Amino acid sequence: MIYLDNAATTKPDKECLKKAEKFLNENYFNPSALYAEGYSVQQALREARKNILETIADGERFDLIFTSCGTEADNTAIFGGAKRGNVVTTSGEHSAIFSCVNELKQRGFEVRFADLNSDGSVNEDSLLSLVDEKTSLVSVIHVSNETGAVNDIKKLASAVKKKNKYALFHSDGVQAYGKIPFKLTSDIDMYTVSAHKIGGIKGCGALIKRKNLIIKPYIYGGGQENGLRSGTENVFGIKNFEYTAVKKYARIKENFAMVEKLNKLLWDRLDKSLFTKISGENCSPYILTVGADGLRGETVLHEANDNGLIIGTGSACASNEKKRFSRTILACGVSESLADGILRLSFCADNTEEEILQAAEILNKIVKNRKEIMA
């Protein structure tokens, strides 16, 4: 089976799983316990926090709050950071942000959505035009989960602060972390990451925030994570996240170059008379989004699956919304006919050139046959 849906989830790294196993079988103690074994686990958590944080931020300037997933981290950022006035975001956000800001609408906030460019990146002029003195929070996805478009969040955060120095800037970095070489700047107040997108296990994520930033907790209880995320910590998942993150960042540039090569190879081998490329030149190589005009992407997905190829049609989380067309893809200016046939092909550094060549052959054959039937 060829797996090209790595944007939805990745295969857990066996080496990192094995290394973290002792926190299931041996060091299984509650890190809040007062006895020596509990304290030892608490120390292991501190080490994980430090090592994950240092992959992307200055540990002297940022904190890290462990959560159950990227969605919870996004919820914490939105509901903890939106305090007054209006909230500005984009039309291409992950559902974890999009659903949150729509809930804010129900709570009386004004929510403003910036337009997208044709590749799925945010239109900078549109975004900045929406920021004013009443803006309390701006949230812009770092890498689009549907097209792979990369937003220059360093530049955007700086521009937002120049318009309103009190506005908080958050970015969902789930599709960027461990894949795109990047470090947080002081203008970025909060940043979301997730373990299972980089070879970790599901059930572990984090919200990185500026140290002096005060936000309200999203989950209350025993006061874990410095009172910002109550609940006994998932020590096994956190340690697995740590080991995976450190391993990914040790080879982040090599992996980027490898995936870039695979992405180009697949697009070169796809029949241009059958497929339209949605992802632009400024997109992450980890995601290649194409459209088969006039076909249902879901139909192609199932037939590809029958032929040994696993792909996506967009955000895996959005599939539960039961909507025929992706709001993000339509916001890129794509016609409904083409939006119906969207396919998201997403890579990891473990994919091989042989798999890519086979994937292209399978997709070309499926789409060609279906178009011939429809002709």
Rounded to the nearest 10 degrees, how much is the dihedral formed by the CA atoms of 25, 27, 28, 29?
Answer: 160
* 100 has catalytic annotation: no
Paired tokens of 192: 């979301």
Are the C-beta atoms of residues 360 and 266 closer than 8 Å to each other?
Answer: yes
CB of 52 closer than 8 Å to CB of 254:
no
Strand, helix or coil at 282? coil
Helices (H), the chain: 14-20, 22-25, 36-54, 70-81, 95-106, 124-130, 153-163, 235-250, 252-269, 297-306, 327-331, 336-339, 353-374
For residues 41 and 28, what is the distance between their CA atoms, to the nearest angstrom?
8
Other CB atoms within a 10 A radius of the CB of residue 247 amount to 18
Angle between helix 36-54 and 235-250 (nearest 10)? 30
CA distances for 306 relative to 75, 299, 312, 358, angstroms: 37, 11, 14, 14
Catalytic residue among 16, 100, 317, 348: 317
Looking at the annotation, which residues are catalytic?
A: 317
